[in-house]
Amino acid sequence: MDEKFIKVRRSNKKRKKEFAYLWIVSDSVNNILATHVSFARDIINAKIVLQKAKQRAGFNPEILISDGLQGYKKAVKKILNCRHVVAHFKAKNIIHNKKWYKLSNNRAESINRFYALWLHACKGFKRLDNANLWIEFFTINYNYLMPRGKKEEVKVEWKDVPILIKNRC
């Protein structure tokens, strides 16, 4: 799990800041489970994206890795009730189910680069609802239409995209 700044215009013109937070939850094989765009970086929005991820995955993970955002700790305990590991950039060694694991949030950080490419072309969004809609499209593109994996294959054809969109909403 990770979050990053993105440019989204606020409806209140008096505020000079035009940044929102893009929340991303991915699985162990780099599929994006859930995204959420919000103006606040707090426990409420962490809970929203974790609930989406839990619903889409259909189960609770055993471990969730994140950076040190305080909102994650309570949100993970409340929504997922799993082990929360804080490992920002530097890998952390843990023992889980009698096995050693070396964990970090580097995968989540690398997924952020995918969104950065799209967002650079968009130069930001005019509204929060548009940001969430476009981010969902980028996610579908990343998960299903981009050649990825060892065989560099796409998972679905373009004709199946409307079904994917309907199922995600």
- Residue pointed to by tokens 């929005």: 45
Chain segment 116-162, per-residue pLDDT in tens = 888 888 788 989 999 999 999 889 888 888 877 777 777 776 677 66
97's tokens = 């189910």
Chain segment 84-107, per-residue pLDDT in tens = 999 987 888 999 999 998 998 888
Query: CATH number of the domain that 153 lies in?
Result: 3.30.420.10
CB 3 within 8 A of CB 22: yes
CB 33 within 8 A of CB 26: yes
Torsion angle (degrees, nearest 10) of CA 154, 116, 9, 33: 50
Nearest to 43 by CA among 65, 24, 71, 23: 71
If pLDDT is split at 50, 70 and 90, which confidence band does 63 have? very high
> Domain range for residue 17?
2-168
List the Cα angle 108/89/48 in 5-degree steps: 40
- Residue pointed to by tokens 């930001």: 124
Global pTM value? 0.83
161's tokens = 């995209």
How many distinct structural domains can be found in the chain?
1
